[in-house]
Amino acid sequence: MRQLRQYAQYQTQYPGKEVIDAALWDTVLYTSAATVALTFFNALRATIDLSNMRAAGQLPAGESFMIRAIRVFFKGRPESTATAAAGAVQPDAIDDIAQLVDSGVLQLNIGQKDYGIYPLYLLAAGGGPYGGIAVENILVAGAAASYGQNGDPHIYNTFTLSVPILIKSQINFNCVLTWPAALTLIRNVNIQVVLDGDLIRSIQ
């Protein structure tokens, strides 16, 4: 019995409910030179790597979600671009990330209320590949391969809410990313918003 009491603090099941660590994520494409706003969690996506939402814009009946952290991840691969002249901005994946993060703002909406507006630079990805650049030959014009991510890939490098926010079952919610003007990038970028927290659901 003593051993069972030791594990009681870790139980996940309660009368009629269970609580498990979970994440909600959704992915939307930023189109270069055209996008000024993107809405997340408002539609079903084609594959699980793009979204794990099972209903558009809300959680299914019997499920709630306690948000404890918000992250923004950029899905992409290293790619080669022409090197810029000395003193000019280098158009590459890292510059794409810098532009998106520098002026982007995320707003969390639940029901008809705003539950937070955050500059994008606060919402580090907290995981995934990091950034880097390699130049073909620094003495002559050539190509540079680069990759960029939103922040150092460490789980503690995430924006944690001081007061968690509860999304109740079948209540509409979304996240909206906005920029003051459309950005010209070297490519279109799939942006993924991740909500970390606790999934509360009926015991099956």
Picking from 190, 185, 192, 159, the residue whose alpha carbon sits closest to that of residue 99 is 185
Residue 100 has pLDDT above 60, yes or no: yes
Residue that has been written with the tokens 């509360």 in this structure:
200
Torsion from C-alpha of 32, 73, 24, 190, nearest 10 degrees: 30
Residue 140 has pLDDT above 60, yes or no: no
pTM over 0.95: no
Q: Is residue 123 within 8 Å of 105, Cβ to Cβ?
A: no
Name the percent of the chain lying above pLDDT 70. 84
**CA 122 centroid distance within chain:** 11
- Kindly indicate the confidence band of residue 99, based on its pLDDT and cuts at 50, 70 and 90: very high
Per-residue pLDDT at 9: 64
- Kindly indicate the confidence band of residue 158, based on its pLDDT and cuts at 50, 70 and 90: confident
Helix (H) / strand (E) containing 6: helix 2-8
| Span 10-29, pLDDT tens digits | 666 667 789 999 999 999 99
List of residues 6+ apart from 115 with CB closer than 8 A: 108, 109, 165
Residues 80 and 135: their CA atoms lie apart, in Å, by 9
Residue 147's Cβ-side half-sphere holds a number of Cα atoms within 13 Å equal to: 11
Higher confidence at residue 47 or residue 85? 47
| Span 24-80, pLDDT tens digits | 999 999 999 999 999 999 999 999 999 999 999 999 999 999 999 999 999 988 777
3-state secondary structure 79-105: EEEECCCCCCCCCCHHHHHHHHHHHCE
**Rounded mean pLDDT, 94-123:** 94
